[in-house]
Amino acid sequence: MGQNEALHKRRYQTMCEEPHRAGSQARPVRSSVFRDSDRLLQEMVTLAIYLLVILARALGGPCSPNKADVILVYCYPKTIITRIPECPYGWEVNQLALGGICYNGIHDSGYYQFTIPDLSPKNKSYCGTQSEFKNPVYHFYNSIVSNDSSVIVKSQPVNYSFTCTYNANYLVNQAAFDQRVATVHVKNGSSGSFESQLSLNFYSNAKFSSIKEAPFVVETSEIGSDIFAGVEAKGLSDRFKVVLNNCWATPSSEYFYQVHWPLITKGCATDYSILVHENGKTNRATFQFNAFRFRNIPKLSKVWLHCETHVCDSEKFSCPVGGARRGAILTDNKLLSYYFEDAKTLYEVFQRGVNISGNGNCLGYRKPKQPYQWLTYKQVSDRTKYLGSGLLQKGCQPSSDQFIGIFAQNRPEWIISEYACYTYSMVAVPLYDTLGPEAIVYIVNRADISVVICDTPAKAEILLKNCEDKKTPCLKTIVLMDLFDKELKDRGAKVGIEILSLQEVEPPKPEDLSVVCFTSGTTGNPKGAMLTHQNVVSNAAAFLRCTENTVECTSSDIAISYLPLAHMFERVVQAVVYSCGAKVGFFQGDIRLLTDDMKTLKPTLFPVVPRLLNRVYDKIQSGANSSVKRGLLKFAAFMKTAEIKQGIIRNDSIWDKLVFKKVQESMGGRVRIMVTGAAPISPSVLTFLRAALGCQIFEAYGQTECSAGSTFSMPGDWTTGHVGAPLACNIIKLDDVEEMSYFSSNNEGEVCIKGPNVFKGYLKDPEKTAEALDKDGWLHTGDIGKWLPNGTLKIIDRKKNIFKLAQGEYIAPEKIENVYIESAPVAQVFVHGESLRSYLIGIVVPDAEILPEFAAKLGVKGSFEELCKNPAVKKAILDDMVRLGREAGLKSFEQVKDLYIHTELFSIENGLLTPTLKAKRGDVVKFFQKEIEALYSSSQE
């Protein structure tokens, strides 16, 4: 068995019910909002005490006791690493003394980190050492040295202690396995809470049919025999599955005993120490293992087995289904294609909203400093029919071969145009100017677009210029949302283009094409992803399924629309809204006025991207501009996070009123659901904002080719560092990527998606379609994923942009960039390497707000441009990035050797970012070619 490397083995929160162990009672998820006078009193007392501590710290000198910090200890063979707060007892710590030997600490982020090597059980000189079971456990205390060099030893106890646990050597004479029964509380929104009996049983053989009597004892003579075990839940319906999370053995009957041997360390069965027969499929999880794969340990007669499991509601959540392939198992074992029986196409989705809303408000818009005005569902429905019939009159065919371009910013007419297409079985093709003029020409010709609906005369002029230059011969009609003059109409007539103003046929089927969404891509021409009605509807249905009974969308909800409707993320959000009869309010068109729009609209649903959340986080942190404010902010976030870990999501605590009210009100004060996607978000930022904003924040992962989302973090899962579990509309598997040493047997590999949300292919591009979709219908994303023990997916690498260095080592630059971007002064980073070079270099754009403070700590002052040119600042940024890389486990050849500091952010406007904010790697290399050559020429290979 592997060594026990840490005192505290992390317990992962599962995505369904709270984990429970046989013999213990599961804790139900708590209410998201509760008001309790006792809790309020407790919070007020806590706040008063904490404010006194902060005040004392502010007035009483540079160092006052702070015992709230967590002391982290990591134990390795003959080595201990511990982090101690810099001021735990009223003096600064800089040394750790053990038996007269002093170890110097390294100061980092408010802590001193000590590394204590070569600890030996035979050495009795260490002060404060106790032992159990032949010294597998070490307790250290009374061993801090302060900054005034006064050694604190046995004569001056300070109540400081930490513990390290090591493997010991004992001989197992027999293994005793005891059957156990636990009462499990299962929470279900439709049928209420109920109880089930969960039992751990042992069987005679792999048929798992004959249960052995308790206690089940294996004698020494039977060493090498396999043990057959199972965890079974009784009294549950077929929709609930038992999932095995973890198994471990201890030399004591206590499951939490410090000395333990893991049987499952990488999820179920992947370390080959245990063979899982069935897991997450029925009400019983069965497995077998060899009881004596433990290290020999003398003076120990028995070993106990412990298992951690959870009960999964398979209609709503993802359950492990064996190997590297995961999916949400529904009662009929079919993937989710729709949520409502009467809403199987996007046309039917909207019609359902019309029917259930009672002609309620649908689309909202506003002018500067004015309240929102609303179009009702009936008004929108009527206008879609008018526009659609007008398109038919102009020669458009009611067919999935008829493509209609939409070239506009978010506004009600965008949705009216889209649903006019759906009403008459035509296909919408979004256009957006950030793709660039050449891309617009390419898309119009590729899709044979004869009609484009656009919002402003300026965009009509772009289209007309292409026609005048004879670049788009297929375009015949332009429909304008805004008013236009006769001059524009006459200009169009000269080149045969009819310009009209925006003032019955069978609806589509689920399998019919609904939209062709041209993805920006980081290289080459954009690709037109063909999405059916079923693709988009199934994606929206999966969101509704996993949030039902917790934070479900209702007709009283309001969403704000500001993310581009040309992207599928925003389109799926709106499909969810319409299917529930809810409302959508559009921003004024200026992102700088988004806060004003939100205060006026007061939305409850807020789709976001990490870039926006990072700005919110930075604004909150920069507002804490004194030690008192920083201390209060830190403590308030700590208290709110503790509640979140108990399943409590609220925005009415005393911490919300005193600390977080302003940021919540800046979003309208009513946001209850946020979904972030499109790019990774820092775990620390996500954890903090979940506390600060007092609402459910879900993280999703996907791409245009799977309509939008394929995984989603589940209600009640407060953990970070992953992108959630598979949605109920798809299954996910991980394929081996041998050249990068990722193998599905290790729960790692390329993320592949299959289900009703996966696209039909790329428009008129069979070669690219074959690259993305294999013959079995699996979408190959190019992302490298890893299954975590709680059944969630973590994106760890990228396959598509890998390259080799001169020595033959493969490099995945995006993985490295995701590490370096955590550096405080770094706003953007680009990692570059070449096959004829042996090392990497980087392009960094610093954060203009943080860099001056960062440089000041180095004793450097100046303008932003001057700081970017300063060699000391550059070296400090590089050192910080390398430190983060080392902590993240990057290999030496994965670390950049030199940097170029650039002053201007990469953007869509300067051609260095795609509309989805991904780096155009080829264009970035061309843009910085001189700087890249200079970096390589100035360094020795």
pLDDT for the residue numbered 846 = 94
- The DSSP H or E segment spanning 897 is strand 896-901
CA distance linking residue 194 with residue 175, whole number of Å:
35
CA distance linking residue 928 with residue 912, whole number of Å:
11
Query: Assign residue 149 a region: left if phi > 0, alpha if psi is -120 to 50, beta otherwise?
Result: left
Classified as helix, coil or strand, 569 is: helix
Spell out the residues 6+ positions from residue 737 whose beta carbon is closer than 8 angstroms to its own.
749, 750, 784, 799
Classified as helix, coil or strand, 258 is: coil
Burial label, 674 (beta-carbon count in 10 A; 0-12, 13-18, 19+):
buried
Tally of residues, the chain? 941
For residue 180, give the nearest of 210, 207, 211, 204 by alpha carbon.
211
CA distance linking residue 21 with residue 3, whole number of Å:
23
CB 228 within 8 A of CB 208: yes
If one compares 659 and 159, the residue with the highest pLDDT of the two is 659
Paired tokens of 307: 């298992």
Does residue 1 have a pLDDT over 60? Answer: no
pLDDT for the residue numbered 550 = 80
CB 747 within 8 A of CB 272: no
Does residue 589 have a pLDDT over 80? Answer: yes
Ranked by mean pLDDT, which of 48-52, 138-142, 724-728 comes out on top?
Answer: 724-728
Least confident among 145-159, 274-288, 533-547, 806-820: 145-159
HSE-CB of 903 using CA atoms within 13 angstroms = 8
Does residue 54 have a pLDDT over 90? Answer: no
**Each residue of 785-816: pLDDT tens digit?**
999 888 889 988 777 677 778 766 778 888 89
Classified as helix, coil or strand, 388 is: helix
Paired tokens of 192: 């209420």
pLDDT for the residue numbered 152 = 41
If one compares 61 and 896, the residue with the highest pLDDT of the two is 896
- Mean pLDDT along residues 591-620: 90
CA distance linking residue 710 with residue 702, whole number of Å:
5
pLDDT band at 309 (very low <50, low <70, confident <90, very high): confident
Least confident among 94-103, 162-171, 245-254, 912-921: 162-171
Does residue 240 have a pLDDT over 90? Answer: no
Per-residue b/e over 717-736, b at no fewer than 16 CB within 10 Å? bbbbebbbbbbbbbbbbbbb
User: DSSP class of residue 508?
Assistant: P
* Phi, psi for residue 158 in degrees, rounded to 5: -125, 10
Classified as helix, coil or strand, 521 is: coil
CB 620 within 8 A of CB 634: no
CA distance linking residue 107 with residue 874, whole number of Å:
21
**Each residue of 338-393: pLDDT tens digit?**
888 889 999 999 999 998 888 899 999 999 889 999 999 999 999 999 899 889 88
* Phi, psi for residue 17 in degrees, rounded to 5: -80, 165
Strand partners, 96: 103, 144
Does residue 82 have a pLDDT over 80? Answer: no
Percent of the chain past pLDDT 70, that is, above it, reads 68
Q: How many angstroms separate the Cα of 471 from the Cα of each of 439, 441, 444, 495, 774?
A: 12, 7, 9, 12, 35
CA distance linking residue 38 with residue 35, whole number of Å:
9
Paired tokens of 816: 């490295």
CA distance linking residue 114 with residue 243, whole number of Å:
40
**Each residue of 99-126: pLDDT tens digit?**
445 566 666 666 666 666 554 444 433 3
pLDDT band at 321 (very low <50, low <70, confident <90, very high): very low
pLDDT for the residue numbered 50 = 54
pLDDT for the residue numbered 743 = 86
Q: Within the chain, what is the greatest distance between any pair of CA atoms?
A: 99
- DSSP output for 394-417: TT--SSTT-EEEEE--SSHHHHHH
Q: How many angstroms separate the Cα of 781 from the Cα of each of 531, 753, 831?
A: 16, 8, 21
pLDDT band at 494 (very low <50, low <70, confident <90, very high): very high
**Amino acid present at 185:** H
Paired tokens of 2: 């592997």
pLDDT for the residue numbered 389 = 86
- Mean pLDDT along residues 577-587: 94
If one compares 8 and 493, the residue with the highest pLDDT of the two is 493
HSE-CB of 474 using CA atoms within 13 angstroms = 18
Does residue 24 have a pLDDT over 70? Answer: no
Per-residue b/e over 379-393, b at no fewer than 16 CB within 10 Å? bbbebbbebbeebbe
CA distance linking residue 406 with residue 939, whole number of Å:
50
- Residue ranges and CATH numbers for the domains of the chain are 72-165 (2.60.40), 172-313 (2.60.40.4100), 360-522 (3.40.50.12780), 604-798 (3.40.50.12780), 803-938 (3.30.300.30)
Does residue 169 have a pLDDT over 70? Answer: no
For residue 715, give the nearest of 552, 564, 592, 567 by alpha carbon.
552
- Mean pLDDT along residues 728-732: 92
How does the average pLDDT of the chain come out, rounded? 76
Burial label, 495 (beta-carbon count in 10 A; 0-12, 13-18, 19+):
middle
Does residue 428 have a pLDDT over 90? Answer: yes
Q: How many angstroms separate the Cα of 865 from the Cα of each of 170, 854, 857, 868, 908?
A: 65, 14, 18, 5, 22
**Each residue of 642-701: pLDDT tens digit?**
888 888 888 989 999 999 999 999 999 999 999 998 777 888 889 999 999 999 999 999
* Phi, psi for residue 426 in degrees, rounded to 5: -90, 175
CB 520 within 8 A of CB 915: yes
- DSSP output for 539-603: HHHHHHHHHTTTS---TT-EEEE-S-TTSHHHHHHHHHHHHTT-EEEE--S-GGGHHHHHHHH--
CA distance linking residue 412 with residue 453, whole number of Å:
13
CB 183 within 8 A of CB 25: yes
Does residue 708 have a pLDDT over 70? Answer: yes
CA distance linking residue 132 with residue 941, whole number of Å:
53
**Amino acid present at 831:** V
